Amino acid sequence: MSDFDVIIKGGVVVNASDTTRADIGIKDGRIVALAEALSGSATRTIDAAGRMVMPGGVDSHCHIAQPSSGGGQNAESWESGTRSAACGGTTTVIAFSSQEKGERIKPMVDAYHEKAKQACIDYSFHIIISEPSDAVVTDELPGLIESGLRSLKLFMTYPKNRVDDGEILRIFEVARRYGALVCVHAENHDAIMYMTEKLIGAGLGATKYHAWCKPALVEREACQRVIMLAELMDQPIQIFHVTCEEAAEEIRRAQHRGVKVFAETCPQYFVLTADDLEGDQRQGARVLCSPAPRSVPDQQALWRHINSGTIGNVTSDHAPYNIDAVDGKFWAGDNAPFNQIANGVPGLETRMPIVFSEGVVKGRIDPQQFVALTSTNAAKLFGVYPQKGTISIGADADICIWDAEKKVTITQEMLHHDTDYTPYEGMDVTGWPAVTLTRGKVVWEEGVESCEAGWGNFLAREPYDYIKPRGVFPTPFNPVSGEIEA
């Protein structure tokens, strides 16, 4: 019998905190040995000389096989979405079990568990809450949180998902009481609806006006407001897909006050701008997402806020809708105005290559920061570290061997998702995963995928200190316990 199932030899191991040359020994899906020169026999030896060996990516914001509340059919199955992720170096995803208004949550979670059994890599869920009724917050959420679903999602906009400030406070209360992080899509709903009505009324329905209906200030205001509500309740939050200087500044100020507010952004906001929404509807729809792409100065601001620590992770916000399907982007018809085109872009497979190319290759971040942004920080924030997000003894053998010199032109033809386009068609990047292992199993190697539907495990998340409240309220009154505290 071999000492190891796999030995990875000769690579440069890159963690979020350090870089070292080391061999890695894998047994029964876990990392069991790290050594300068590992001895012993192995069933398989992988030569990683000249390459970086990093923790597999953790994508904590992706929509897979999720019912859409705004029109259009999600193009991805759990098999295709996680296959695509693995081919791009990602080995853990956190997707969304959604609640429609008027529905209970648990049946939706149960149904989503069934769909996810086809996953090729490990996974967990956030629970989207659209109607925090008494039954939901009293009867359903406590048990679901304690079952390992320790993150909730709320929308401050979209007619069928949006919760108002009072409902946000109800969600914060149950999250704080039972130990969950709340993730927020932060945009001012009423302002967006007003601007949309005015633009459409003026005959301005082209995709370019999507950015006009939701300028940066509607994101800024919503960030400031939800941070205030979180501060009132002493509830840790993460603000999803931060796009601009204005929103990032609100988050930075709160962080400097000690508030537990975390932030993420996405590759589309590094490489797309509002100008990409111009042209005919079909072309503009390929990059139509929310919040809208911004400007080059906003792109530069995002990198500054990454380097200052304001923004801690980069996710795909993979939201796939086919261009050429009748139930895809143009579910409302070929000539639909911007407000009736499905929001979102695909990006599970291209997330890590774009961040590496735009970040490391262009000198904006170093390889350790790349690992932190694409893997470690999300693993810590969502309670799967150190099982995920690190190359260390005892961790799952979720590993990406990275070819930092490989030059790739992104095309739809080369990708492994079920979406019929990529918004990054023709983009040149440097750096691409050479080999991906998930729990010691090779699923991507030198351009050949060998993913297995059903290999992925659900990650139930136990209580963890990273998202514990500070114990600081703005007054002596604790609104969660109902007590006055000294």
DSSP string covering 428-463, please? Answer: EEEEEEEEEEETTEEEEETTEE---TT---B-----
* pLDDT tens digits along 265-316: 999 999 999 999 998 999 999 999 999 999 999 999 999 999 999 999 999 9
Architecture of domain 57-374+461-467: Alpha-Beta Barrel (3.20)
* pLDDT digits 0-9 by tens, 168-205: 999 999 999 999 999 999 999 999 999 999 999 999 99
Give the Cα-Cα-Cα angle 194, 199, 202 (nearest 5 degrees): 125
Flag whether pLDDT at 100 surpasses 90. Answer: no
Helix (H, G, I), strand (E, B) or coil at 399: strand
Q: What is the pLDDT of residue 372?
A: 98
Hey, what amino acid is at 300? Q
Residue range 407-436: mean pLDDT, rounded: 98
- Alpha-carbon distance of 478 to 486, in angstroms, equals 10
- Give the Å distances, CA to CA, from 149 to 118, 156, 312: 19, 21, 21
The mean per-residue pLDDT over the stretch 46-72 comes to: 93
In this prediction the pTM is 0.97
User: Mean of the pLDDT values across residues 414-424?
Assistant: 98
Q: Is the pLDDT confidence value at 403 over 90?
A: yes
Structure-token pair, residue 435:
């080999």
Going from N- to C-terminal start, the domains of the chain cover 57-374+461-467
Mean pLDDT of 421-445: 98
Predicted confidence at residue 11, as pLDDT, reads: 98
pLDDT tier at 335, thresholds 50, 70, 90: confident
Band of residue 102 on the pLDDT scale cut at 50, 70, 90: confident
pLDDT grade for 1, boundaries at 50, 70 and 90: confident
Tokens of 436: 């991906």
pLDDT of residue 439: 98
